[in-house]
Amino acid sequence: MRQADATDETRLMLYFLPAFLRGAISALLLVLNTLLSFSLLVPFALIKLLPIQTLQQASTRTMIRIAENWMRCNSGWMHLSGRIQWDTQGLDQLRYGGWYLVTSNHQSWVDILALQHVLNRRMPMLKFFLKQELIWVPIIGLCWWALDFPFMKRYTKAYLEKHPEKAGQDLITTRKACEKFKTTPVAVFNFLEGTRFEQSKHDAQQSPYRYLLKPKSGGIAFVLDAMGEQLQALVDITLHYPDGAPKFWDLLSGRVRKVVLRCQLREIPGEFLGRDYQQDADFRQQFHAWVSQLWREKDAQLDALHKDYPPGS
């Protein structure tokens, strides 16, 4: 108990300051942390350009450690400026050396930092499939490339109708990007809803779920088609904020009071591997039914969490 009290006191180091000052200090620490981490990544990113596989693999491992330390430093300013209570279950199932497909409900920009805080070093670093154009984002684009975030080029149906020779090229490109994951454990992350939950979006969709938007099955089906045999399980995460979805400024200024996270490992059905989501209508229907069942269970879990953790609990 004394150790817990000491931790609480440490977390209160900046809590006597006004919220706007806590937020400004946290924002400054985040920027400095990002710039410092970027400067450390650059030399190893240059080494990675050399056509020597052992050097490439060594630089990749080093850059992952730099990114993990970036996350630890972010956890540091979160502790410094606020006093978040982290209520988590199911994390003991995870392995740092595993290969996972990861998904979660999406309520706030805070979700990503919350997930990084809780999952850092418990499993491989979360990596998102990104649009190819994002590689040109200043600083961050280079970091994504250096850390082997897979960039993919998706073609619309209208484009493929005009250029049928491009059919299947997006999948080939993605499989090539994922080749490096055969030797390096990875956790590929996807928000199935595709965007943050908002009541207006929920109403516009006429979503059948109470706390969720409709899931988009195509994204993770594409991941499974590209690298399904490498993935050991689906890590299904449910996030709940008892006081409502926070804004990013709430996190910076230490106003997030409690985060509830539930983690469950789910088997990826073997019959889903090596199937073509775009061309195989039967598979598309089966896969959509599987995802819909996952979402019904997640909605029921969120309903229970809202009852167990009402506002102010």
pLDDT tens profile 210-233: 999 999 988 888 888 877 788 999
Other C-beta atoms within 10 Å of 29: how many? 18
CATH number at residue 150: 3.40.1130
Please check whether residue 79 lies inside any domain of the structure. no
Is the pLDDT score of 14 beyond 90? Answer: no
* Tokens 């088609």 belong to residue: 225
The domain in which residue 235 lies consists of 84-308
State residue 155's pLDDT score.
65
The pLDDT, as a whole number, for residue 249 is 97
Domain presence at residue 4? no
The answer to whether residue 2 scores a pLDDT higher than 70 is: no
Burial 151-175 (b: 16+ CB within 10 A, else e): bbeeeeeeebeeeeeeeeebbebbe
- Tell me the whole-structure pTM to 2 decimals: 0.88
* Percent of all residues in the chain with a pLDDT value above 70, rounded to a whole number: 90
**Residue 237: enclosing H or E segment and its boundaries?**
strand 233-240
Dihedral, CA of residue 227, residue 229, residue 233 and residue 235, to nearest 10: 0
Give the Å distances, CA to CA, from 15 to 26, 77, 81, 227, 255: 12, 12, 6, 45, 10
Q: Is residue 26 part of a domain?
A: no
Asked if residue 278 is part of any domain, the answer here is yes
SS3 117: helix
In whole angstroms, give the CA distance from residue 271 to residue 283: 9
> Which region among 64-68, 119-123, 211-215, 308-312 has the lowest average model confidence (pLDDT)?
308-312
Of 180, 186, 143, 150, whose CA–CA distance to 41 is shortest?
Answer: 143
The string of pLDDT tens digits covering residues 30-76 is 999 999 999 999 999 999 889 998 998 899 999 999 999 999 999 99
The answer as to whether 38 is a domain residue is no
Distance CA 150, CA 129 (A): 5
Q: Which of 256, 244, 239 is nearest to 26 (CA)?
A: 256
Burial class (CB in 10 A: 0-12, 13-18, 19+), 270: exposed
9 lies in some domain: no
Residue 88: inside a domain, yes or no? yes
When mean pLDDT is compared across 1-10, 55-64, 76-85, 175-184, the lowest value belongs to 1-10
Q: Is residue 104 part of a domain?
A: yes
CA 294 to CA 291: how far, in whole Å?
5
The total of structural domains in the chain comes to 1
